[in-house]
Structure 1
Amino acid sequence: MAVPLEVAVTDSLTSWTVDASETDAGAGKVLDFHITRTGATVGFGIAMCVVLLILPICTLRVSIQTVRGGKQFLPPIVTWFAVTLFAVLPIRNLFPGSPPIGSWVDYTGVLWVVMGLATSLALYITAWWRQAT
């Protein structure tokens, strides 16, 4: 027994675009829903990925130059490395939808960023050790 029903689709999900289209399926009508991220949200996510990528690149450059002897060891930079390491999780949580721990962004981005920053910190401490001896 078919029950008549009315469906209203409103585009009120923050950072999502919702569209519904009606198709005729013989005995009744079928609604197809298309839900996608807005362009601004996708752009924001890409910008956050770029920020996360830039952090280890900058710190690795500084630490490698210091270990090689091309730059002078500066103790305050150790705190800069530590701050960047601890800034990763708050930056990660800014992603649209605040993805749960273990999501794709953790495996494809955050893990590599943390490893790069930790390596930078270890290299810089190695440069300090060499200078001290």
Structure 2
Amino acid sequence: MSSLRRQKPGRGRVLPAVLACCLVVAAITLGTWLQFGERQALDRVDSAGGSDPDRVDIEASVQPVDALYSATVDASGINGAAVFDVGLARSSSVLVFAVFMMAATWALAVSVVIGAWYLVTRRKGLTWPAPGWMAATLFALAAFRNAAPGTPPIGCLLDCLAFLWAEAVIACCLLTVVVSGFKTERHPTSAAPL
């Protein structure tokens, strides 16, 4: 009976994984920085009103009837003028769902990476269910992203932190599995004894 020994991972195997993780973290950081930098450039402050004696008093009310947003209104009077501070924010349920969507998107991408890793390192060839599953995941993520509450536009924070990167990772894994499987199938090893 022959004993099989598992080889210890060397630096040659660990270094690419560490570099890949660092690249993903750098890409997420860059996407976040670009997203918030762009939003801050679009912000603007307006002031209105004057000291005319014939001004008109205004009464305003904001009712949070949309489940996607929560509104707060603080009213006060300064020198006989009504001042309203209106705040609009996403509701907490939308934020929880968006974080769940990001986590689920990354979990699917990581599962595809793990599947591709095993197929390529073990030289399994063209195992057709695996590329089919990877392609289905690639196209399912687009539908999953479109189900986000409020139908956010392309380039939102969900895209910058999860969707676009996960799509790129899955597409690269799918391409790698197909190319590696094609090379393995073209040069098969010696036939196994019966």
Q: Does residue 114 in structure 1 map to residue 147 in structure 2? A: no
TM-score (norm 2): 0.63
- Percent identity between the two aligned chains: 23
Alignment map for 1:1-133 (pairs within 5 Å): 1-69=54-122, 73-133=126-186
Is 1:17–1:37's contact at 8 Å kept on the other side of the alignment? yes
TM-score (norm 1): 0.89
Aligned-residue CA RMSD (Å): 1.8
Moved over 6 A (4+): none
2:168 aligned partner, one-letter code: M
Is 2:126–2:185's contact at 8 Å kept on the other side of the alignment? no
Any idea what SS the aligned residue of 2:147 has?
A: coil
Query: Which stretches in structure 2 are left out of the alignment for 5+ residues?
Result: 1-53, 187-194
Q: Which has the higher contact order (CA 8 A, sep 6+)?
A: 1
2:118 aligned partner, one-letter code: Q
Is 2:123–2:181's contact at 8 Å kept on the other side of the alignment? no
Q: How many residues align?
A: 133
2:101 aligned partner, one-letter code: M
Is 1:20–1:32's contact at 8 Å kept on the other side of the alignment? yes
Structure of greater Rg: 2
Comparing 69-78 and 47-56, the one that deviates more: 69-78
1:47 aligned partner, one-letter code: F
Pick closer, same or farther for the CA change 1:76–1:113 going to 2, 3 Å. Answer: same
How far apart in 2 are the matches of 1:111 and 1:83?
16
